[in-house]
Amino acid sequence: MKKEFVTVRQNETVIKVLNTKIDAVRVKDLTKRGVRVYENGLIGISGAIGNLSDDALVAMAKENLSVGIKYPYELTKQDEDHRDYRVKAIDSEQLVSITEQMLTFFRMEFPEFDFSEKIGFNETQIEFNNSEGLELSYQDAIFEIELILKEKSSSNLFDGFISYQGRTLDMDKFVSFNKMLLRAQGNAVLLPRGEKLPIFMTDTSKMKIFLNKALNGENYANNSSIFSQKMGQKIFNSKLTIEQNFDPTEMARPFFDHEGVKLNGDKLALIENGVLKDVFSDKKTAAIYGIRHTGGATGEYDSMPMLSATSLRCRNDSENIKKVLNGKPAIIVAMAEGGDFTADGHYASPVQLGYLFDGEKIIGKLPEFTVTSKLSDMLGDDYIGTFENPFYMSESGQLQGYYLTVK
């Protein structure tokens, strides 16, 4: 009988902030473990939070074999890869001190705003081992700053965000960038003229949800993807490359999937220079539909490996936003909640928070507006490029620009 073990350890300290003061300190130290056993082409699973013994978990997984779920696929084997991306350790006292320093800055420099929510330091260790000689481990430790910003004179629930994610925190850079942002927040400006404007997104999660459905190998093979039957065709702008990306330095995630599969160089281009090259798949999907296996299995610590969504990232393809804009005023979208893509790729969203942007500096806060487009235009003729985010918001953040219709 072959056995596989997944262990997720999370050690987290979070400082909860209310009205620019520390309200609470939360510590969490949890271990979640999952076990899979394989016999006669079947898989059995079990899992627990806490310190249940291996023997007990294996016994539960063996019992689960009787359910009769087929898994006639080779386990990933004979690889030892231990990667530790931690840069520094922070205890709760140090995090309280960092938070006090940050909140003092906000209180002194920007008394017209209130800041609430959390500043955290999250240490994660994920191990994936099996009886076939596979030993993978990923360790990381990340600062996560998520503060909601409220103008004291405003009757909105909140008016913006201060956010940062990274393995290190440079307080000078953090202060410098957020000074610019908060000054812009207090400077109301008008929308630039024009029906179609250059707009840069800091968060492309809605588009990634849509692309994950379209690039899912099972959807593709079943003809339910808008990309079905377009393999090898140019579907987007020649600059654009979209990768299945397991690189922890760019995605802050493990370098392997839920079947213990790694990618060559931690990346695989699914759309390269605008051409559809591949779709993502797990072992089962690849076998059933005869498509290339790309290591796209996902799941919780105690669940079957499944194909749902993978880590997608656009490759940085452009530099120097100022030069690209060539003097045109642009917009950075900081909050566009609630909009979506329709099944055929039409996109519309209100933009609750947008800033006027000259390619280098954030200048002022815009009134609410709506953007509309189509995916084929956004990533086609209206695509400006994907840039490294020049602002101190995330260690590996991006800005992606398109010309969108503004209403």
Partner 1 sequence: MYIFPKDLYVDVRIEESFDTKISFKKKCLIEQKIRKNTGAFIRVFDGKRWYYSSISEVDLVQEQIDKLAQMATPNPHILEHPVVQKFEVNQTSKLNYANEPITNLSVLRKRNLLESRLELLDDPIIVNHTSFYVDNRTVKQIYTSKGTEVIFDKQTCGIRMSFDIAYGESKDQVSVSKGFDTFEALEMTEEYFRNEIQKTIEFVKNAVPVVGGEYTVLLSPMATGVFTHESFGHKSESDFMVGDETMQAEWTIGKSVANEIVTIVDDGNILGNGFVPFDDEGTEGKKTMIITDGILTGRLHSTQTAALLQEDLTGNARAMNFEFEPIVRMTTTYLEKGDRPLKEIISEIDKGIFVDTIIHGSGLSTFTLAPSRAYMIENGKISQPVRISVVTGNVFETLSEVDAVSSEFEFLGFVGGGCGKMEQWPLPVGFGGPYTKVRKLNVQ
User: Which two structure tokens, joined as six digits, stand for 138?
Assistant: 């990923």
CA angle at residue 401 from 179 to 150, to 5 degrees? 35
The Cα 401–Cα 306 span in angstroms is 33
Closest contact distance (angstroms) between CB of 217 and partner 1 is 11
Residues in Cβ contact with 341 at an 8 Å cutoff, skipping those fewer than 6 apart: 206, 207, 210, 347, 375
Position among 1, 2, 41, 49 found at the interface with partner 1 (CB under 8 A):
49
Closest contact distance (angstroms) between CB of 337 and partner 1 is 4
Q: Is the dihedral of CA 325, 326, 330, 332 positive or negative?
A: positive
**104 scored as a contact of partner 1 (CB under 8 A):** no
The Cα 124–Cα 30 span in angstroms is 10
User: What is the SS3 assignment for 229?
Assistant: coil
**204 scored as a contact of partner 1 (CB under 8 A):** no
**223 scored as a contact of partner 1 (CB under 8 A):** yes
Q: Which stretch binds partner 1 (CB under 8 A): 11-19, 261-269, 309-317, 326-334?
A: 11-19
Closest contact distance (angstroms) between CB of 129 and partner 1 is 20
Q: In terms of DSSP H, where are the helices of 111-257?
A: 171-185, 205-214, 217-221, 248-251
Q: Which stretch binds partner 1 (CB under 8 A): 40-48, 82-90, 165-173, 234-242?
A: 40-48
* Residues 127-186 within binding reach of partner 1 (CB under 8 A): 146, 148, 150, 152-158
Position among 1, 24, 56, 89 found at the interface with partner 1 (CB under 8 A):
24
Q: Which stretch binds partner 1 (CB under 8 A): 22-30, 248-256, 257-265, 388-396?
A: 22-30
**59 scored as a contact of partner 1 (CB under 8 A):** no
End-to-end C-alpha distance for the chain, whole angstroms:
62
**48 scored as a contact of partner 1 (CB under 8 A):** yes
Query: What is the SS3 string spanning 240-272?
Result: CCEEEECCHHHHCCCCECCCCCECHHHEEEEEE
The Cα 274–Cα 232 span in angstroms is 10
- Give me the phi and psi of 10, to 5 degrees please: -125, 125
- In this complex, which beta carbon is closest to partner 1, that of residue 46 or of residue 310? 46
**224 scored as a contact of partner 1 (CB under 8 A):** yes
Position among 62, 262, 267, 346 found at the interface with partner 1 (CB under 8 A):
346
Closest contact distance (angstroms) between CB of 16 and partner 1 is 7
Q: Which stretch binds partner 1 (CB under 8 A): 20-28, 125-133, 171-179, 247-255?
A: 20-28
The Cα 330–Cα 359 span in angstroms is 7
Q: Which stretch binds partner 1 (CB under 8 A): 133-141, 213-221, 236-244, 263-271?
A: 213-221
* Residues 266-305 within binding reach of partner 1 (CB under 8 A): 302-304
Position among 3, 6, 46, 197 found at the interface with partner 1 (CB under 8 A):
46
* Residues 225-254 within binding reach of partner 1 (CB under 8 A): 225-226, 228
Q: What is the DSSP letter of 2?
A: E
- What are the distances in angstroms from CA 361 to CA 180, 304, 355, 400? 8, 47, 10, 16
**91 scored as a contact of partner 1 (CB under 8 A):** no
Q: Are 144 and 16 contacting, i.e. CB atoms less than 8 angstroms apart?
A: no
The Cα 102–Cα 160 span in angstroms is 17
Closest contact distance (angstroms) between CB of 212 and partner 1 is 11
Element containing residue 371 per DSSP (H, E):
strand 369-374
Position among 339, 364, 390, 395 found at the interface with partner 1 (CB under 8 A):
339
Q: What residue ranges bind partner 1 (CB under 8 A)? A: 16, 18-19, 22-31, 45-51, 64, 67-70, 92, 114, 117-118, 146, 148, 150, 152-158, 213, 218-219, 222-226, 228, 302-304, 306, 335, 337-344, 346-350, 352, 368, 370, 372
